[in-house]
A and B are shown apart, each in its own frame.
Chain A
Amino acid sequence: MSLDPSFVGRSYPPTAPYQVGREKIREFATAIGATDPAHHDPEAARVLGHPDVVAPPTFPVVITMAASRQIIEDPALGVDYSRVVHGDQRFAYTRPVVAGDELVCVNTVEDITSRAGHGFLTTRTDVSTAAGEPVVTVWSKIVVRGEG
């Protein structure tokens, strides 16, 4: 599957703000078995200096996966999602995500390559608060497998 390399460098409009809920963080932490009180109890999080419960490190994917549909479903780029495999994932944090955050994502196509009939698409999502404070940068590389 070959992807159009002219998309490299393209940024998409900021997504609508995502409200990070305390119960969503608790639900996510429970699903991965993360029992640290700071994920569940606001008081425990405050002891660590946070305003409310702290999200586990990979929680931002809940927000960025939905946000990256802007790119994956861009008809001009033409990714066949049924052929997509997750390649790489990286998070670089300015600070942890906490309940009460209102987060906006800006997606950028960082790299497109083709090798052995497969397409490789690297996206960067800059996640910041609606007020503009940077929180976390998320890179995701997907492989669009070639036919046959």
Chain B
Amino acid sequence: MELPAKTFRVTRADLVRYAGASGDFNPIHWSDRTATKVGLPGVIAHGMFTMALVGRAVTEWAGAPDAVVDYGVRFTRPVVVPDDDQGTEIEVTAVVREVTEDGLTRLDVTATCLGEKVLSQARATVRTAR
């Protein structure tokens, strides 16, 4: 079963806010000068910010903010965030891989930016909604 897709807009302001809230002040997430110096096309989103947005999708699908029991991803491609008002967009989809008898639902999640996968092996286990 495929779950309804969710999209998340990501702007530079979001990255600054996430840096402050998470304590991850790596300059590749706010300075084009630093990002290009290390070979990136420009400022990129924190991998953990992408993972957090995908986590939001998962909890929304699960229907409960405390339903996630296991959640893992591999970061495969950076999410480049241009310095404009539109930023970029991450699209998240998932399929239900398994519903277990002990009340767990396993999801295979896909996150893309500009049509390219930014995560692989993204899997979440949530408590099945009652």
Contact = CB atoms under 8 A, between A and B. Distances in A.
A12 interface: no
Interface string B27-42: 0000000000010000
Interface residues of A, number: 32
B55 A58 contact: yes
A65 B49 CA distance: 13
A66 B73 CA distance: 20
Given A38-B65, A57-B68, A58-B52, A89 B58 contact: no
Contacts of A31: 14, 17-18, 20-22
Given A33-B56, A56-B55, A61-B48, A89 B65 contact: no
A120 to B, nearest CB: 12
Given A62-B22, A96-B66, A89 B73 contact: yes
B71 A139 contact: no
B72 A139 contact: yes
Interface residues of B, number: 32
Nearest to B64: A48
B39 to A, nearest CB: 10
Contacts of B18: 31-32
Interface in A52-73: 54, 56-58, 61-62, 65-66
B21 A27 contact: yes
Interface in B40-79: 47-49, 51-53, 55-56, 58-59, 64-66, 68-75
